[in-house]
Structure 1
Amino acid sequence: MDSTYKKVFGGNSIVARRIELLLKDNSIEPILKDESESARLAGFGTPLPDLIQIFVHKDEEIKALALINQLHKK
């Protein structure tokens, strides 16, 4: 992943999709990296099913982390 992007989340697909929507609703365009889907498409298995990582542009990292933290406090 390009160094202009920072990882803000790693976890299961249900929580990741909720965070993706939250970020998009706040004008942040996240990039999702789904290891299990990539492995499936390549014909391989993965030891960590449903693991999704979310990256945002480094200029939006602080805002994204604040939104994610608010979500977890609810």
Structure 2
Amino acid sequence: MMQEHVKIFTGMPIIASRLKTILEQAEIPTILKDEAESGRLAGFGSHSLSAQLFILNTDLEKAKPIIETYKKEIEE
């Protein structure tokens, strides 16, 4: 199976960062794409208030229960 990154979450950067931490504690590598923060660091503005979290498709089955539990937590 070819490895590729899949988007698993889009939302507020602080919520995406917390999910990133939880997944990495479960030894699932992640990539967090936060265009607002990237623009700020580069000296450009951005109106985006969301971040995207990606994992490898090979880790998706392992990550699904973690993601579902987290989504239930933040909905409460």
Name the aligned partner's letter for residue 45 of structure 2: G
Segments ≥4 residues shifted beyond 3 Å: none
Cross-structure match for 2:34: 34
* TM-score using structure 1 length: 0.81
Q: Which runs of 5+ in 1 are unaligned?
A: none
Normalising to structure 2: TM-score of the pair? 0.79
Q: How many residues are aligned here? A: 71
Give me the identity figure in percent. Answer: 38
Q: Tell me the secondary structure at the aligned position of residue 53 of structure 2.
A: strand
Where does structure 2 lack aligned partners over 5 or more consecutive residues? none
1:57 matches 2:56: yes
User: Does the aligned pair in 1 maintain the 2:17–2:32 contact within 8 Å?
Assistant: no
Q: Is the 8 A contact 2:32 2:53 kept in 1?
A: yes
